[in-house]
């Protein structure tokens, strides 16, 4: 698995989102590299890890990354947050803090949470953020699209990521520039990623999370509803929630200074 190391200071691991690679963090890395030693991961099937034998599965990915990075906080954007959260929950000694950026413990809408019938208090507590997920049909549609129109499907997903930002054109341009900058990710890996986004539910991990966490949301995000992130933070001990008011799904591209300040401030807190 390819992991780029740059910068100096305390280590910080960064995990990118679906169809991207570690290079997408360039604007954020430029602002953090004077204070942090950044470990920029290309997830299996993506970027320079496109031929990695590691399966794109939460426990396998966490194990593979943990074997090659020092003890450090993990930051996960979108799909990357799934692995960061699993690492913080399963390896608190090696992952002393968690940063979730535009990422939720469950990406799809929980139909049980929207049902009018009353539920037990335990069920309500674990499903509250599920009201704000995407429709499962959206992910199924992207999966079908990969089989029928690979490039067109990626273009539609990137457009969805950029939509809503106050600099949607700039965000769309940056994402377009990066998506194939390290080669085309195989359709099979992208399909596996979509399946993870559709099926994985890590909300049960939140109440027992032992490390402090920061949840950074874009108020205009159309992929991960900021209300889902706020609800997740409220259900997690020692969590903070920050909202980038004019940010979309990739606020580190359009509001890098604001995001870098939030990250540095959180990690500087004893």
Q: Of 49-53, 86-90, 124-128, 190-194, which range is least confident? A: 124-128
Q: Is 52 a catalytic residue?
A: no
Q: Which residues pair with 13 in a beta bridge?
A: 39, 74
Q: Which of 49, 221, 225, 255 is catalytic?
A: 221
CATH architecture assigned to 3-268: 3-Layer(aba) Sandwich (3.40)
Instruction: State yes or no: pLDDT of 59 exceeds 70.
Output: yes
Q: Which of 78, 127, 165, 213 is catalytic?
A: 78
The helices-and-strands tally (H runs, E runs) of the chain is: 12, 7
Give residue-wise pLDDT tens across range 105-129: 999 987 665 554 434 433 333 434 5
Give pTM, 2 decimals. Answer: 0.92
Between CA 76 and CA 67 the distance in angstroms is: 17
Query: How long is the chain?
Result: 270
User: Quick one: pLDDT band at residue 137, thresholds 50, 70, 90?
Assistant: confident
Q: Note the Cα 25 to chain centre separation in Å.
A: 12
Domain ranges (residues) in the chain: 3-268
What pLDDT was estimated at residue 27?
96
- The reported pLDDT for the residue numbered 130 is 66
The whole-angstrom separation of Cα 73 and Cα 87 is 10
**Side by side, which strands form the sheet with 36-41?**
3-7, 36-41, 10-15, 74-77, 98-101, 213-218, 239-244
DSSP characters over 165-220: STTHHHHHHHHHHHHTBTBPPPHHHHHHHHHHHHH-B-GGGGGG--S-EEEEEETT
- How far apart (Å, rounded) are the C-alpha atoms in residues 41 and 64? 11
**Annotated catalytic, 255?**
no
Distance CA 223, CA 41 (A): 22
Across all residues in the chain, what is the average pLDDT? 91
Q: Tell me whether residue 78 is one of the annotated catalytic residues.
A: yes
């Amino acid at each position: 698995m390819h992991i780029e190391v740059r910068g100096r200071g305390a280590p910080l691991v960064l995990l990118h989102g679906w169809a991207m690679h570690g290079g997408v963090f360039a604007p954020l890395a430029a602002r953090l590299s004077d204070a942090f030693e950044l470990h920029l991961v290309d997830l299996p099937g993506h970027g320079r890890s496109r031929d990695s034998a590691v399966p794109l599965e939460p426990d396998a990915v966490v194990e593979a990354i943990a074997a090659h990075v020092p003890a450090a906080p993990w930051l996960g954007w979108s799909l990357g947050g799934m692995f960061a959260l699993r690492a913080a929950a399963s390896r608190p000694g090696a992952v002393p803090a968690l940063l979730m950026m535009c990422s939720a413990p469950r990406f799809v809408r929980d139909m049980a949470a929207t049902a009018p019938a009353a539920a037990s208090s335990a069920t309500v507590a674990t499903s509250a953020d599920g009201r704000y997920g995407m429709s499962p049909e959206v992910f199924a549609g992207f999966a079908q699209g990969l089989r029928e129109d690979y490039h067109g499907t990626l273009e539609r997903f990137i457009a969805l990521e950029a939509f809503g930002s106050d600099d949607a054109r700039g965000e769309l341009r940056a994402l377009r520039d990066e998506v194939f900058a390290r080669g085309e990710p195989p359709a099979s890996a992208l399909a596996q990623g979509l399946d993870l986004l559709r099926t994985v539910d890590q909300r049960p991990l939140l109440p027992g999370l032992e490390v402090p966490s920061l949840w950074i949301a874009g108020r205009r995000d159309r992929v991960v509803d900021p209300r889902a992130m706020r609800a997740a933070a409220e259900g997690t001990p020692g969590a903070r929630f920050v909202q980038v008011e004019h940010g979309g799904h990739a606020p580190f591209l359009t509001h890098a200074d604001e995001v870098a300040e939030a990250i540095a401030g959180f990690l500087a807190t004893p």
